[in-house]
Amino acid sequence: MTDETQIERESMEYDVVIVGGGPSGLSAAIRLKQIDPELQVVVLEKGSEIGAHILSGAVLDPAGLNRLIPDWKEKGAPLNTEVVDDNFFVLGEAGQVRVPNWPMPPLMNNHGNYVVSMGNVCRWLAEQAEELGVEIFPGMAASQIVWDGNRVKGVVAGEMGLNADGTPGAMYEPGMELHGKYVFIAEGVRGSLAKEIIEKLNLSDGHEPQKFGLGMKEIWEVQPEKFQKGRVVHTMGWPLGKNAGGGSFIYHFEDNQVLVGFVVHLNYANPHLYPYAEFQRFKHHPMVAELLEGGKRVAYGARAISEGGLQSIPELSFDGGVLLGCSAGMVNVPRIKGNHNAMISGIEAAEAAAAALKEGREGDRLTAYDEAVRKGDIAKDLKKVRNVKPIWSKLGLWPSLMLGGIDMWVSNLTGWNPLGTWKHGKTDAQATGKAKDFQPIDYPKPDGKLSFDRLTNVAFSFTNHEESQPAHLKLKDPSIPIKVNLPEYAEPAQRYCPAGVYEVIEEGGEARFQINFQNCVHCKTCDIKDPSQNINWTTPQGGDGPNYPNM
């Protein structure tokens, strides 16, 4: 392995270093330069280009964009499909029941929202940032924190060319240290640097554990007569039933493309559950199959979703920096929306940092950012829905629809949650039950028309990793998958990974755990759901991973 103490790296100094070129990081960069064009701001993106690793539904609430760039329409933002039709169904195996819109709390209404590719929205935001003078470095994975005591001083980015054993190869590049007066962590859900900072500085103390879902998505080109631009459909129920919480989305986007997604809450107990197979089975429901038949799938991807809500957001500021967007967990679960809050968090952090820098401060805590999030628009958005997820987890689908609906309605009308604040309790890893207590689930084989095996679909994520580098999926104890997870939990990594990264292979009567890291789509599910918490997701070298065209 590389001896970090012996590596000499050049360093660059900035006012603000931003890790992650998603909606929160780019919004922060833009707002910083809007306030003070002289600020030196850099955005580091691990994907091969801005947008390459962005996967979201997405129906975008433009609240954050309206605040950041009020004239976004005139500037050509790629928001071209306004929602025109909002539908919600509860599915059974052979049919569906439509839930009328009128009993839904107003916050569930998608009027004024847009079906978008967040990858393309981020590409457009990057153009706006660069016009303002922001430096953007794609293909630069930030792999380490530069600590100065308990202060985050910067990050190491751009280390490349390591051999599989971690030693420097012939083309080794040590990367650079990028130091910031403030460092913004905007990696998205379960980012490796955010995870390290939260654990080292105990930022989650006094808050509920973060909860997660796994979102899987395909883009389909459907027959023109079946396409209804701006139509939005959400479903719950079949095929998950009582096995897990979750549901689907079907968004009619543009150019006869329909965005088909499926979310499985990762607090499921049955380790035999296979989220990817549930997604594939869902597409055979008569309502969905009728839409997709005769069409073709053109892209696939997967990503974890933060679902803990307001009570799971950790402390957001620390000496030298802040957590933005999904690095902290700002998704509104019943709305299936977080991009607007991610953008607002970037704006709030930028305003707090710009004010601090104007005062001559650096490296301290931006407590004004914490306050802005917990008392401003983000808190108002999340407070109304804070009990939906824990009610669903504890009582199931129908009680969550009724009790959660009442709680949202009262909160919407009065600002008061009659149910108080429910707790989440266990982490998603701790929620995993023992294999002996559950029946295995018999999943139908993919038909190659509507449903596909994992490896076939992974090819449609355009994922690539340089095979000679060290595996970025690290086992704390290599013996645990076979000695513990296999007998106790039927080694669920074989099933919860939506990209077929993990396999248990029989060789000479012995079981062996194999990691096919080249398949990884960077969803982070393994880091979240492994019952032994033995898998640590780290960044591969910059530019590697999925290359989503318009997710």
Binding residue ranges for FAD: 24
| Element spanning 350, H or E | helix 339-358
Closest listed residue to residue 243, CA positions, set 266, 263, 269, 261: 269
Say what the alpha-carbon torsion angle 307, 497, 536, 43 is, to the nearest 10 degrees: -60
Q: Helix, strand or coil for residue 482?
A: helix
Return the sign of the alpha-carbon dihedral for residues 433, 198, 351, 141.
Answer: negative
Strand duo 168-173 + 135-138: pairing: unpaired
d(CA 88, CA 41): 43
- Residues of the binding site: 24
d(CA 474, CA 386): 34
Dihedrals φ, ψ of 265, to 5°?
-65, 135
User: Where does 420-502 have alpha helices with state H?
Assistant: 454-458, 480, 486-489, 493-496
d(CA 515, CA 529): 16
Closest listed residue to residue 263, CA positions, set 275, 244, 246, 250: 246
C-alpha 519 chain-centroid distance: 18
Closest listed residue to residue 344, CA positions, set 359, 331, 360: 331
* Residue type, position 335, single letter: R
The tokens for 200 are 């080292």
Q: Helix, strand or coil for residue 251?
A: strand
Closest listed residue to residue 232, CA positions, set 114, 135, 330: 114
Return the sign of the alpha-carbon dihedral for residues 370, 376, 382, 385.
Answer: positive
Cβ atoms of residues 138 and 117 within 8 Å? no
Closest listed residue to residue 513, CA positions, set 535, 528, 545, 540: 535
Say what the alpha-carbon torsion angle 330, 336, 340, 345 is, to the nearest 10 degrees: 0
d(CA 245, CA 234): 14
What are the CA-CA distances from residue 348 to residues 315, 356, 416 (Å)?
Answer: 15, 12, 25
Cβ atoms of residues 431 and 425 within 8 Å? no
| Element spanning 433, H or E | none
